[in-house]
Amino acid sequence: MVRKIRIGDIVRGKKVLDVVNLSNGWQVVKTENTKSSRDFRVKIISPQHPGGLTIKHAHFAIDFYGKCCRDRKKALKVLEAIVKVWHGEDVKKLLKQYEPQIRGLTGYSLEYILYALRWILDQEDINFKGRPLRKQREIDMKLNKMGIKTPSGREGSQLAIALFCDIASGVHPVEAFYSAGLKI
């Protein structure tokens, strides 16, 4: 039995700032971090990771690739829900709307994906310091190709969304990571 984490608890030396309790008993936890005063980390607390494991958008990109291989049409619904979270829509509302549409997909639950990515994408925006114009144009092109508009102030997390767009377009995750400039 994994102990339930609460706001104010300490996980791996860091104070817990927020917690989402998932229906499967896991917890998505936001802890303080050191890049800036607003920076934080996102961790999963589960039976497999009772001390907390830092999660990143790359974990979800790999899961998304598996979903695309399984059922591309349903996987695109997952991407649609992710984009709506990125645009600030309520996770509970999106779960009601999209869970029936993606039933049968293997891998991470939509609940875990949306709650975790909501914070991970926020973190990317907080830590964003800019990027070269050429890279920005490349990202804009990928999002435009998928019909995705970038919300105001979300330029940092745009790279993560472009990674999902690459995978949805048939790019292998390893190539998508290289294109995004992520170390794997």
Q: How far is C-alpha 89 from the geometric centre of its chain's CA atoms?
A: 14
Asked if 117 and 57 count as a contact pair (C-beta separation under 8 A), the reply is: yes
Share of the chain above pLDDT 70, in %: 98
- Which has the higher per-residue pLDDT, 4 or 91? 91
What does the pLDDT read at residue 38?
Answer: 87
What does the pLDDT read at residue 165?
Answer: 97
Per mean pLDDT, which range of 6-15, 106-115, 139-148 is the poorest?
6-15
Q: Using the predicted structure, report yes or no on whether residue 40 has a pLDDT greater than 90.
A: yes
CA dihedral 19, 68, 152, 95 (to 10 degrees): -40
The gap between the terminal CA atoms of the chain, to the nearest Å, is 32
Q: Using the predicted structure, report yes or no on whether residue 2 has a pLDDT greater than 70.
A: no
Please give the average per-residue pLDDT across 71-97, as a whole number.
98
E strand segments, 7-164 = 10-11, 14-21, 27-32, 40-46, 49-54
Q: Using the predicted structure, report yes or no on whether residue 118 has a pLDDT greater than 60.
A: yes
User: Which pTM was predicted?
Assistant: 0.94
What is the CA angle 151-40-172, rounded to 5? 60
